[in-house]
A and B are shown apart, each in its own frame.
Chain A
Amino acid sequence: MAAGNEVSSTYYIQHHLQNLTFGKHPENGWSLAHSAEEAREMGFWAIHLDTMGWSIAMGLLFIWIFRKAGKAATTGVPSGLQNAVEMVVEFIENLTRATFHGRNPVIAPLALTLFVWILLMNTLKIIPVDYGPELFKRLGVEYMKIVPTTDPNATLGMALGVFCLIIYYSIKVKGAGGFAKELSLTPFNHWALIPFNLVLEVIGLLVKPLGLGLRLFGNMFAGEVIFILIALLPFWAIWLLDVPWAIFHILVVTLQAFIFTTLSVVYLSAAHEHH
């Protein structure tokens, strides 16, 4: 979409970066937001329908494919879908075995879910940036941002899930007292330094999910913005930049999914370890 003047290109960028928000507006009540301002005014009590819809769709796609392969799984010679699925499962199994020391039947499936789900959500980005918003605009839906991982709510939401598990396993493995001791007596094992330790450790703990979520969001969002900017070029020049960027993004998409998964496993592994 080539933009003639500055206003329309600003509008174009803003439009493509706006989520379809449903929430409680102070004036309009429960409704869809018709502008970025309205969405902002809704505050916390709003939900991004596009983010939720597409992420759940991708999650269901993951579940469907892998459940299908799992049901058909034989110990004989694998073929087609089963082969592909087994490759992913084996990859995740090796990853968890390498980074997670200890026994926990939750970790490997968790890593598999994270990896495949994030990979699928990221992959939506390869779809040209105009398809989602334009198509849904024609259908009467004002905003449609189809890549859930460019929404910080999605990435931080998953990171929050991982964070809850970190807390849960820390307490389960070390006990509430053990966990508290770890927070207050490391890295300096002296009673006078307890407040200092506490601040340091709590920040360290909180940085984990924040970093996890923001890293994925930042990479995906930045990539999305570049795609949108490229789309502002004259239509015959778009492919010159768009194709290399998309090819590069095949790497980014996989790498970010991998990093999120690996770091989650590493954090959970640390949660299981005594200091």
Chain B
Amino acid sequence: MNINMTLIGQTIAFAIFVWFCIKYVWPPISNALHERQKKIADGLDAASRATRDLELAQERAEQTLRESKEQASQILEQANKRSAQMIEEAREQARAEGERLMASARSEIEQEVNRAKDELRAQVSHLAILGAERVLEASVDEKAHRKLLDELAAEL
């Protein structure tokens, strides 16, 4: 229990340990602690930000879904309308075409009838003249009776 050089020795040992601690022990541990603290704070920050982002994204997704649904129904409606219209148009066209065909056929038939009538008329007049010539045997002045005959033919 005497005070002796141990006192000095202990002070020297103390100084060396403190120096070593300052130099090699404290900095890495303290740095790691502070860095981790920062990392955790950042992580928490990021988490809360992510939650907010998620909420926003969900909202946006919902909105987009709603919009697209609306659009789809709109497109469907339009398509329905358009198809009905197309059917109506086709029907109309078909009817018009049919009428046109019928009309042209009718006019052709009429023409044919007229032509046949004309031909018949010409032949009848010729035959009538021929017959008259034969009946009369006399020379009938064709020129003199031409007008009469034509009238006759027209009456056929």
| Segment 14-71 of A: residues with Cβ below 8 Å from B | 17, 19, 21, 23, 39-40, 42-48, 51-52, 55-56, 59, 62-63, 66-67, 69-71
- Tell me if A73 counts as interface (CB < 8 A to partner B): yes
- Tell me if B7 counts as interface (CB < 8 A to partner A): yes
Are B10 and A71 interface neighbours, CB within 8 A? no
**A contact residues around B30 at 8 Å (CB):** 89, 93, 108
Query: Which residue among A23, A89, A157, A164 has the maximum number of chain B CB atoms within 10 Å of its CB?
Result: A157
What is the distance, in angstroms, from B82's C-beta to the closest C-beta of chain A?
64
Q: A-B pairs with the 6 shortest C-beta distances?
A: A157-B10, A153-B6, A73-B32, A70-B28, A109-B26, A161-B14
Partner of A75 from the list B3, B14, B22, B35 (CB cut-off 8 Å) is B35
Provide the B38-49 mask, 1 if CB < 8 A to any CB of A, else 0. Answer: 010000000000
Partner of B32 from the list A45, A74, A108, A113 (CB cut-off 8 Å) is A74
Q: Which residue of B lies closest to A43 (CB)?
A: B4
Are A46 and B17 interface neighbours, CB within 8 A? no
Provide the B5-26 mask, 1 if CB < 8 A to any CB of A, else 0. Answer: 1111111011101101110111
- Tell me if B1 counts as interface (CB < 8 A to partner A): yes
- Tell me if A271 counts as interface (CB < 8 A to partner B): no
- Tell me if B33 counts as interface (CB < 8 A to partner A): yes
> Which of under 10, 10 to 19, 20 to 34, or 35 or more describes the interface residues of A?
35 or more
What is the distance, in angstroms, from B150's C-beta to the closest C-beta of chain A?
127
Inter-chain CA distance A17–B27, complex, in Å, is: 39
Q: Which residue of B lies closest to A76 (CB)?
A: B36
What is the distance, in angstroms, from A113's C-beta to the closest C-beta of chain B?
4
The SS class assigned to the A binding surface is helix
- Tell me if A246 counts as interface (CB < 8 A to partner B): no
Inter-chain CA distance A57–B28, complex, in Å, is: 23
Are B17 and A117 interface neighbours, CB within 8 A? yes
Are B33 and A86 interface neighbours, CB within 8 A? yes
Q: How many residues of B contact A (CB 8 A)?
A: 32
**A contact residues around B136 at 8 Å (CB):** none
Are A156 and B17 interface neighbours, CB within 8 A? no
What is the distance, in angstroms, from A144's C-beta to the closest C-beta of chain B?
15
Are B7 and A112 interface neighbours, CB within 8 A? no
Q: Which residue of A lies closest to B20 (CB)?
A: A63
- Tell me if A110 counts as interface (CB < 8 A to partner B): yes
**A contact residues around B20 at 8 Å (CB):** 63
A157-B4 contact, Cβ under 8 Å, with A70-B24, A109-B22: no
- Tell me if B29 counts as interface (CB < 8 A to partner A): yes
Partner of B2 from the list A39, A59, A108, A158 (CB cut-off 8 Å) is A39
Query: Can you pick out 14 interface pairs between chain A and chain B where the beta carbons lie within 8 Å of each other?
Result: A19-B1, A46-B2, A46-B6, A51-B10, A52-B6, A59-B17, A75-B32, A109-B26, A110-B21, A151-B1, A152-B1, A157-B6, A158-B10, A160-B11
A66-B25 contact, Cβ under 8 Å, with A42-B4, A46-B2: yes
Inter-chain CA distance A160–B36, complex, in Å, is: 37
- Tell me if A228 counts as interface (CB < 8 A to partner B): no
**A contact residues around B32 at 8 Å (CB):** 70, 73-75, 86
Are B35 and A106 interface neighbours, CB within 8 A? no
Are A158 and B14 interface neighbours, CB within 8 A? yes
Are B28 and A71 interface neighbours, CB within 8 A? yes
